[in-house]
Amino acid sequence: MAKKMTDRDFLAFARNELERSKNWRSTRSGYGFDEQWRRYIDLYSGRHWDTKTGTDQLIVNLIFSTINVMAPAVAINNPRFVVNARKPEQAPQAVITEEVLNYAWRKNEFQRDFRLAVLDWLITGQGWLKIGYKSTKKPVRKATDGAAPQNSDAGSGSEGGEEGIDDREDVEGNVESEINIEPGDDQPFVERLSIFDIYVDPDARHPKEMRWIAQRTWRPVVDVQVDSRYSTTQRARVSGSHWSPWSTESGDARAGSDAGSSDKPNKGALTYAEVIEFYDIKRNTVSTFAIDADGDDDNEPDAGFLIKPSEIPYASGHPFVMLRNYEVPDHFYCMGDVQQIESLQLELNETRTQMLNYRKKFRRAWTYRKDAFDREGIQALESDEDNVMIPVQSDEALSGVLAPVPAIISPAEFFDQSAMIQNDMDMVSGVSDYAKGNPQSSTRRTATEAAMIADAANARAQDRLMKIELVLAECGMRVIQLMQQYMTGEQVARVVTLPVTGWVNYDKDYIQGEFDYEVRGGSTEPQNETFRRQSALQLADVSAQFVSMGVADPVALYKKLLRDGFGEKDPERFIQQQAPPQEQAPQGGMHAMPDGSMMPDSDMPPEQQQMPPGMGGPPPQGGMQMGPQMDPNLGPGAQDLTPELLAMMMAMGSGGDPSMAPPPEMLDVPPPWA
């Protein structure tokens, strides 16, 4: 029977696995992933030359332009999430969940961090997102031995006091270590993580095969030593091996993601500790420890952990989502778009630099005999004036006393090589000159040829877009799962997917259920104004015959044209509100019968003489006119929009089965047509 692993054995295992992952990514293993990623980032930012030489060095950064064509094409807009219920009885909850998810993505600005991760994904081949739940809570000030509670001015350092006391001001709780939920103040988060701060199992070939995953965080030692979430004994032992190069007294010390001088920092330099959050996927536990700590005591119960292993708090497992670019069989890390065009970019820089140096060597020079020209003649030769007179003293022919020096001209092949390299980069990257906005190439091609080139380029663009939409769907699923698990109290969401102005109050019960998540195709792509307007006009042309036949609703069609084709946010203001026609009573007190004949009102039965207002007959006494009845299709006002009514409106508006929505008798408010 296998021996159960103690906390100290598990800490040794975690540190050994972390060291193996670092060695795997270093140059010692032959892969050198960290060095490659930094080089790709330098190429994107324009740092292409390693050393300075005596000549000028040109950079034609086509990598920058290529990446900045790809990134907006897949992640420029907020995604449009679509949530579908897996069970018929959960259809109303799916409608509410869809609105909540789309509004939460916009409200919390998740797209900003997602776009940063997309940039990592394109440049290096992978990007990392962390999806969790957080809330802000004021630290609890505990009193010890009957003494008064600590004030916020207590000193900081290793003498931080008992566990549970934080010597600093208000801090934001670490969601991976301790989840503090305050009603009304909790929310999910989507955070971009640096690719250099995530370590994975080196033996895994895919994220599904990982046994563990860890996140590194650089924290000032003074903050670690007073953080009440950490063990009092272990946080006092944390030391730093890296320091800030920007401290006024730090001298030449340097720090970076993995950097740091081996020299000791000067007095006053801000030192940093390497804190690791280790997620053991196999055991479903999470723990926190520091790489740099003074000697551990074997008798200490904490076994060197800042936070001892505990169950991962999230029902979905570890909180990390990986964006994967071009897959390489049997390799965990993927290829980025920069890797394949790196050599072409460097060659282009060399070619253009040589062209520059050759152009600098081009100059006009002349040879002449001194005795053939006097001082005035030499000055005339050196002059830039037009039609200048040059006196010649010699009787010898001019070709014998004056001759031009042959100039060094740039070979024409250099220009051909530059164009050839750029064509190779376009072919390898899959980004055509049309996507880059090059009008010169467009004028040399026919419309058919341009369409064929665009279709070929769209194949790769759609492949990238599909990967992005799959990751976004997973992110949306995790956000809702966290809200289902940890949300407290009641919150409000604005309707963002329907052309109505409304808000919906909801709590955790309204979003419970099992759903399928997807992103509407093309919702994150840039919207071409001309294409969108042409599509709207084509829709109007196709729908004209159906409007004349009475099949299509002209008012609804006009609203859609204004909203989708011309970007009008409030198409209602262009619609003329017409009052319904009122039936007039027949002259002479006559009443129309169903068969078309007329009958005097005096001959009508008494119960039929009293007609309801608005249904024909004389108006009520006092001259009061009852307004038209409310159209049930218009729905309630924004202030009356409840989750149940929203579900009913969306079910009716989308052509779905209204029976899937809650019946009116189950609602807290009467139906709008009551």
pLDDT higher than threshold 50 for residue 257: no
pLDDT higher than threshold 60 for residue 236: yes
Q: How far apart are CA 597 and CA 138, in angstroms?
A: 82
Q: What is the pLDDT of residue 264?
A: 58
Mean pLDDT of 456-470: 81
pLDDT digits 0-9 by tens, 476-497: 999 999 999 888 888 888 887 7
Q: What is the band of 672 on the pLDDT scale with cuts at 50, 70, 90?
A: very low
Q: For residues 256 and 227, is the Cβ–Cβ distance under 8 A?
A: no
Q: Is 612 buried (19+), middle (13-18) or exposed (0-12) by CB count in 10 A? A: exposed
Q: What is the pLDDT of residue 110?
A: 94
Comparison of pLDDT for 557 and 39, the residue scoring more: 39
**What percent of the chain is predicted at pLDDT more than 90?**
25
Q: What is the pLDDT of residue 393?
A: 81
AA letter at 204: A
Q: What is the pLDDT of residue 151?
A: 36
β strands within 293-355, DSSP E: 307-311, 320-324
pLDDT digits 0-9 by tens, 356-382: 777 777 677 778 888 788 888 888 888
Mean pLDDT of 382-398: 81
Comparison of pLDDT for 243 and 303, the residue scoring more: 243
Q: How far apart are CA 189 and CA 321, in angstroms?
A: 13
Q: What is the pLDDT of residue 429?
A: 77
Choice among 151-160, 469-478, 626-635 with the minimum mean pLDDT: 151-160
Mean pLDDT of 21-25: 93
**In this structure, what token pair is assigned to residue 321?**
């989502």
Q: What is the torsional sign of CA 109, 111, 114, 115?
A: negative
Average pLDDT value for the chain: 74
Q: For residues 482 and 188, is the Cβ–Cβ distance under 8 A?
A: yes
Provide the β-strand partners of residue 293.
238
Q: What is the pLDDT of residue 625?
A: 36
Most confident option among 403-407, 552-556, 642-646? 552-556
Residue 21: CB partners within 8 Å, gap ≥ 6? 199, 200, 201, 202, 214
pLDDT higher than threshold 70 for residue 546: yes
Q: For residues 63 and 345, is the Cβ–Cβ distance under 8 A?
A: yes
Q: How far apart are CA 175 and CA 475, in angstroms?
A: 17
Q: What is the pLDDT of residue 499?
A: 62
pLDDT higher than threshold 50 for residue 219: yes
pLDDT higher than threshold 70 for residue 234: yes
pTM: 0.70
Mean pLDDT of 16-23: 93
Q: CB 290: neighbour CB atoms within 10 A?
A: 22
pLDDT higher than threshold 70 for residue 176: no
Mean pLDDT of 648-674: 47
Q: What is the band of 303 on the pLDDT scale with cuts at 50, 70, 90?
A: low
**What percent of the chain is predicted at pLDDT more than 70?**
65
Q: Buried b vs exposed e over 317-335: b needs ≥16 C-beta within 10 Å?
A: ebbbbbbbbeeeeeebbbb
Length of the chain measured in residues? 674
Q: What is the pLDDT of residue 197?
A: 94
Q: CB 173: neighbour CB atoms within 10 A?
A: 17
pLDDT digits 0-9 by tens, 615-637: 444 444 433 333 334 444 444 44
Q: What is the pLDDT of residue 640?
A: 47
pLDDT digits 0-9 by tens, 30-88: 788 999 999 999 999 988 877 665 567 778 888 898 898 888 888 888 999 999 999 98
- Per DSSP, the chain holds a count of helices (H) and strands (E) of 18, 18
- CA-nearest of 101, 169, 210 to 516 is 101
pLDDT digits 0-9 by tens, 580-594: 655 554 445 555 565
Choice among 13-27, 122-136, 165-179, 216-230 with the minimum mean pLDDT: 165-179
